[in-house]
Protein backbone atom coordinates (compact mmCIF):
# COMPACT_ATOMS: atom_id res chain seq x y z
CA UNK A 1 0.00 0.00 0.00
CA UNK A 2 2.61 2.50 1.07
CA UNK A 3 4.97 2.70 -1.87
CA UNK A 4 6.61 5.95 -0.81
CA UNK A 5 10.36 5.80 -0.54
CA UNK A 6 11.00 7.83 2.57
CA UNK A 7 14.11 9.81 3.28
CA UNK A 8 17.14 8.43 5.05
CA UNK A 9 18.40 10.23 8.14
CA UNK A 10 21.19 11.89 6.15
CA UNK A 11 18.86 12.98 3.40
CA UNK A 12 16.35 14.31 5.87
CA UNK A 13 18.96 16.32 7.74
CA UNK A 14 20.34 17.88 4.57
CA UNK A 15 16.87 18.59 3.25
CA UNK A 16 15.57 20.25 6.41
CA UNK A 17 18.60 22.52 6.55
CA UNK A 18 18.04 23.54 2.96
CA UNK A 19 14.39 24.28 3.73
CA UNK A 20 15.39 26.46 6.65
CA UNK A 21 17.90 28.38 4.53
CA UNK A 22 15.36 28.87 1.75
CA UNK A 23 12.88 30.08 4.33
CA UNK A 24 15.22 32.53 6.07
CA UNK A 25 17.45 33.94 3.35
CA UNK A 26 14.82 35.92 1.41
CA UNK A 27 13.77 37.76 4.54
CA UNK A 28 17.33 38.74 5.35
CA UNK A 29 18.04 40.06 1.86
CA UNK A 30 14.69 41.77 1.54
CA UNK A 31 14.94 43.47 4.90
CA UNK A 32 18.40 44.89 4.30
CA UNK A 33 17.51 46.28 0.86
CA UNK A 34 14.26 47.75 2.13
CA UNK A 35 15.90 49.54 5.01
CA UNK A 36 18.88 50.95 3.15
CA UNK A 37 17.51 51.48 -0.37
CA UNK A 38 13.74 51.36 -0.22
CA UNK A 39 13.77 48.49 -2.70
CA UNK A 40 12.29 45.03 -2.56
CA UNK A 41 14.68 42.21 -3.29
CA UNK A 42 12.64 41.49 -6.37
CA UNK A 43 12.74 45.12 -7.48
CA UNK A 44 16.49 45.08 -6.99
CA UNK A 45 16.76 41.89 -9.02
CA UNK A 46 14.77 43.40 -11.88
CA UNK A 47 16.90 46.53 -11.97
CA UNK A 48 20.13 44.56 -11.59
CA UNK A 49 19.24 42.41 -14.60
CA UNK A 50 18.45 45.54 -16.60
CA UNK A 51 21.68 47.18 -15.53
CA UNK A 52 23.72 44.33 -16.98
CA UNK A 53 21.79 44.05 -20.24
CA UNK A 54 23.12 45.67 -23.41
CA UNK A 55 21.82 49.26 -23.61
CA UNK A 56 20.15 48.54 -20.24
CA UNK A 57 17.07 47.42 -22.14
CA UNK A 58 15.12 44.18 -22.04
CA UNK A 59 11.84 42.84 -23.35
CA UNK A 60 9.27 42.23 -20.65
CA UNK A 61 9.07 38.52 -21.39
CA UNK A 62 12.84 38.04 -21.20
CA UNK A 63 12.97 40.02 -17.98
CA UNK A 64 10.18 37.93 -16.51
CA UNK A 65 11.96 34.70 -17.36
CA UNK A 66 15.34 35.66 -15.96
CA UNK A 67 13.80 36.95 -12.72
CA UNK A 68 11.50 33.93 -12.40
CA UNK A 69 8.40 36.12 -12.34
CA UNK A 70 5.03 35.76 -14.00
CA UNK A 71 4.29 38.39 -16.63
CA UNK A 72 1.48 40.04 -14.65
CA UNK A 73 3.69 40.33 -11.60
CA UNK A 74 6.48 41.92 -13.60
CA UNK A 75 4.03 44.24 -15.31
CA UNK A 76 2.77 45.58 -12.00
CA UNK A 77 6.22 45.96 -10.50
CA UNK A 78 7.58 47.72 -13.59
CA UNK A 79 4.63 50.09 -13.59
CA UNK A 80 5.40 51.03 -10.00
CA UNK A 81 9.09 51.43 -10.78
CA UNK A 82 8.12 53.63 -13.72
CA UNK A 83 6.02 55.83 -11.44
CA UNK A 84 9.13 56.27 -9.31
CA UNK A 85 11.16 57.23 -12.39
CA UNK A 86 13.56 54.28 -12.13
CA UNK A 87 12.44 52.48 -15.27
CA UNK A 88 10.80 53.48 -18.55
CA UNK A 89 8.53 51.46 -20.78
CA UNK A 90 8.61 51.94 -24.55
CA UNK A 91 6.97 49.97 -27.35
CA UNK A 92 9.50 47.64 -28.94
CA UNK A 93 10.46 48.86 -32.43
CA UNK A 94 10.93 45.33 -33.80
CA UNK A 95 7.63 43.87 -32.59
CA UNK A 96 4.46 45.86 -32.16
CA UNK A 97 3.17 43.58 -29.41
CA UNK A 98 6.28 43.75 -27.27
CA UNK A 99 7.35 46.27 -24.63
CA UNK A 100 10.92 47.23 -23.81
CA UNK A 101 11.86 48.12 -20.25
CA UNK A 102 14.66 50.70 -20.02
CA UNK A 103 16.67 51.46 -16.91
CA UNK A 104 16.74 55.23 -16.46
CA UNK A 105 19.73 57.23 -15.21
CA UNK A 106 18.03 57.49 -11.83
CA UNK A 107 17.46 53.75 -11.86
CA UNK A 108 21.11 53.09 -12.66
CA UNK A 109 22.26 55.27 -9.81
CA UNK A 110 19.83 53.59 -7.45
CA UNK A 111 21.20 50.17 -8.31
CA UNK A 112 24.79 51.33 -8.02
CA UNK A 113 24.03 52.87 -4.64
CA UNK A 114 22.27 49.74 -3.39
CA UNK A 115 24.88 47.23 -4.54
CA UNK A 116 27.58 47.68 -1.87
CA UNK A 117 25.22 47.17 1.04
CA UNK A 118 23.69 44.18 -0.67
CA UNK A 119 27.07 42.59 -1.33
CA UNK A 120 28.08 43.27 2.24
CA UNK A 121 24.97 41.45 3.47
CA UNK A 122 25.63 38.50 1.21
CA UNK A 123 29.22 38.32 2.39
CA UNK A 124 28.36 38.44 6.06
CA UNK A 125 25.47 35.99 6.00
CA UNK A 126 26.51 33.54 3.31
CA UNK A 127 30.10 33.65 2.15
CA UNK A 128 31.96 34.44 5.36
CA UNK A 129 30.46 31.54 7.33
CA UNK A 130 31.77 29.12 4.70
CA UNK A 131 35.31 27.92 4.07
CA UNK A 132 36.68 28.38 0.54
CA UNK A 133 36.26 24.64 0.03
CA UNK A 134 32.63 24.83 1.05
CA UNK A 135 32.06 27.72 -1.34
CA UNK A 136 33.42 25.55 -4.13
CA UNK A 137 31.16 22.68 -3.08
CA UNK A 138 28.15 24.94 -2.88
CA UNK A 139 28.87 25.94 -6.46
CA UNK A 140 28.83 22.30 -7.58
CA UNK A 141 25.73 21.44 -5.58
CA UNK A 142 23.96 24.46 -7.01
CA UNK A 143 24.82 23.30 -10.52
CA UNK A 144 23.39 19.86 -9.87
CA UNK A 145 20.19 21.24 -8.37
CA UNK A 146 19.64 23.78 -11.10
CA UNK A 147 19.80 21.13 -13.79
CA UNK A 148 16.62 19.80 -12.21
CA UNK A 149 15.00 22.99 -10.98
CA UNK A 150 15.73 25.03 -14.10
CA UNK A 151 15.88 22.53 -16.98
CA UNK A 152 15.01 25.23 -19.50
CA UNK A 153 17.81 27.42 -18.22
CA UNK A 154 15.49 30.39 -17.77
CA UNK A 155 17.52 31.73 -14.88
CA UNK A 156 20.80 30.82 -16.54
CA UNK A 157 21.63 34.46 -17.21
CA UNK A 158 21.66 34.84 -13.46
CA UNK A 159 24.20 32.18 -12.66
CA UNK A 160 25.86 31.37 -15.96
CA UNK A 161 27.73 34.25 -17.62
CA UNK A 162 27.78 32.49 -20.99
CA UNK A 163 24.87 30.11 -21.54
CA UNK A 164 25.40 27.81 -24.52
CA UNK A 165 22.74 27.65 -27.21
Partner DNA sequence: GGGTGATGGTTGAAACTACAACCATTCAGG
Partner DNA sequence: CCTGAATGGTTGTAGTTTCAACCATCACCC
Q: Is 150 in the site for a copy of itself (CB under 8 A)?
A: yes
In angstroms, the Cα distances linking 36 to 49, 111, 113, 119 are: 20, 12, 10, 13
Among 36, 88, 89, 153, interactor with DNA by CB under 7 A: 89
- Choose the one of DNA, a copy of itself, none that binds residue 1, judging by a C-beta under 5 to 8 angstroms depending on kind: none
Other Cβ atoms within 10 Å of 46 Cβ, number: 28
Q: Is 15 in the site for a copy of itself (CB under 8 A)?
A: yes
Other Cβ atoms within 10 Å of 44 Cβ, number: 20
Measured between alpha carbons, how far is 139 from 143 in angstroms, rounded to an integer?
6
Q: Is 71 in the site for a copy of itself (CB under 8 A)?
A: no
- Choose the one of a copy of itself, DNA, none that binds residue 145, judging by a C-beta under 5 to 8 angstroms depending on kind: a copy of itself
Minimal distance in Å, beta carbon 120 to DNA?
A: 20
Give the neighbor-by-neighbor strand order of the sheet with 99-103: 57-59, 99-103, 87-91
Q: Is 113 in the site for a copy of itself (CB under 8 A)?
A: no
Q: Is 137 in the site for a copy of itself (CB under 8 A)?
A: yes
Could you tell me which stretch among 52-60, 84-92, 94-102, 123-131 binds a copy of itself (CB under 8 A)? 123-131
Amino acid sequence: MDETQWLSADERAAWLRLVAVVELLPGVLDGQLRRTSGLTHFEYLVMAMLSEAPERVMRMTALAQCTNATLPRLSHVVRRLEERGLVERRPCPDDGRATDAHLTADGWETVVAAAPGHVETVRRHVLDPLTPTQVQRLHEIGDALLRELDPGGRLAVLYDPDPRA
